[in-house]
Amino acid sequence: MKKQNVILLHILFWLFSWFIPTLYYGDFHPISRNSFLLDLSGFFLKAVVFYIHYLILLPRFFQTKKYGSYVFSVLILIELFTILRFLIEEKLYVSVFGFSNYFGNYSIKFYIWDNVYYGSFSLLPSYIIWSIIKNMNLEKDKNELLLEKEQAELQFLKNQINPHFLFNTLNNIYALVYHNSEKALPAILKLSELMRYVARDTNGDELVPIQQEINYIESFIELESLRIKPKAEIDYQVEGNTDNIKIAPLLLIHFVENGFKHGIVNNPQFPLQIHIKIMDNKVELHTENQKNTNQKPDGKGIGMQNLKRRLELIYPNKHQLEIIDNKENYICNLIIDCQ
């Protein structure tokens, strides 16, 4: 929901909360200084309960299913309402204006239960408005994700099987064929597998088995290694059980491709590190490469921006991405919760 619509919804709610009781009780509760002050303090305290519940307790505890902490916090909030109301209406108003909200003798038990009753009035409306806005935002994100799926599929083809990669790979395969190398046919097979996976097996952001992503990365590494002279130095490791783990397609390859494209990959003292770890339904990727300082930077980081956006849409609050970019090397640490 747009920000201005959220503000309008809140304004309409508070106008309704202020005027409807005034109109309803107008004949029985004539407007005077004292009644106005009581209405004003009551309105203020209800707003305090409403927004603490709306802005803090619901998103921090209820949404995260910490129900015990949520109930405890609501009780503390009602206690805060009771204390503030006592200080304003039974202390401040008495000392300044000479009147209070409660008359005659009343027990502490009655006062507490009466304030628990009135203090709870703001809880349900704040929950309803919070739920409406939350559900509308979820629907908006869902529609936005669906809208971007077709563009994402085209972007995959452009970014992952890009013309430069195809051109270099075909040149390498041509050289292998020319020299009757036994590596030629396996290289052609690897390239066809890559293209088939991107064009057919990955459907937008539908999840795929993590093992397919690993196979894709391994094929990519083998083809890229053909052009590295004298030899590609790669520290590639996969750890953990890949069974029953699924992930959005073509997220991990960005960092592998970046290492080949911008890094020095033939230094035995500083190999390209590609480590994948699967544990507790989480996929962890660590890549590290020595930077090629002779290479001019190209582009404006659009690929990384698109990747971050995809992560935010597909794995909101379920991923961690750390990028360390210094003069000597480039490091990526990505953790995705696949539950």
The pLDDT tens digits for 305-331 are 878 888 888 898 899 999 999 888 999
Its pTM surpasses 0.85 = no
Reference 122, options 156, 60, 80; nearest CA is 80
Distance CA 80, CA 72 (A): 12
State residue 175's pLDDT score. Answer: 83
Residue 142, amino acid: K
Across 129-133, 147-151, 223-227, 232-236, the highest mean pLDDT is recorded for 232-236
Would you state the structure tokens that stand for residue 194, as one six-digit string? 């890559």
pLDDT band for 154, please (50, 70, 90 cuts): very low
Reference 262, options 301, 217, 306; nearest CA is 301
Indicate whether 233 pLDDT > 50: yes
8 A C-beta contact, residue 275 and residue 328: no
For the chain, give the mean pLDDT: 83
Would you state the structure tokens that stand for residue 90, as one six-digit string? 């039974």
pLDDT digits (tens, 9 = 90+) for 60-117: 999 988 999 999 999 999 999 888 888 888 889 888 888 877 766 777 788 888 888 8
State residue 162's pLDDT score. Answer: 59
DSSP string, 136-159: HHHHHHHHHHHHHHHHHHHHHHHH
Lowest mean pLDDT among 23-27, 41-45, 229-233, 266-270: 23-27
Burial label, 19 (beta-carbon count in 10 A; 0-12, 13-18, 19+): exposed
Structural domains in the chain, sorted by start: 3-135 (no CATH), 189-337 (3.30.565.10)
Indicate whether 236 pLDDT > 60: yes
